[in-house]
Amino acid sequence: MFVFVSRNLDLALPVQTRQNGSLYLHLFLQSRRLPRWKFWELLHEPTTSYLRTRLTQFQVPLEPTFQLLGKETDDKVKSKGRHLTLPVTHIKSRLTFNVMTEDVELPQYHLPPELVRLIT
């Protein structure tokens, strides 16, 4: 069964993140609620799924020649051309993760390569 869930979140980026900092998301999914937990205990809990992903990247914006689908006029692109050497913090606009809720028996050895990268 496939269930699609979508949520919109508004994030306020700290000043340190906007000025060449990194922002990570740590997502924990577990089947039962633990009364008190510590990071490492939760990470090694057998019923916990964990995802860590980088939400921001500090880089120089793409040149206008690579933005083929842009709708800006040539005058706007020329006026912005001098600002393209300053790095800017970019935040991911979408985060996707998958959750498997069925108990599946997998062989201990000879796993298909498509599954190995998802399990390890």
Q: Which of 14, 12, 18, 13 is nearest to 87 (CA)?
A: 18
> C-alpha distances in angstroms, 18 versus 26, 57, 79, 116, 117?
19, 10, 23, 36, 32
Q: What is the pLDDT of residues 31-48, one digit of tens each?
A: 777 777 788 888 888 778
For the chain, the structural domain boundaries read 15-97
Whether the pTM exceeds 0.85: the reply is no
In this predicted model, which residue has the larger pLDDT, 26 or 19?
26
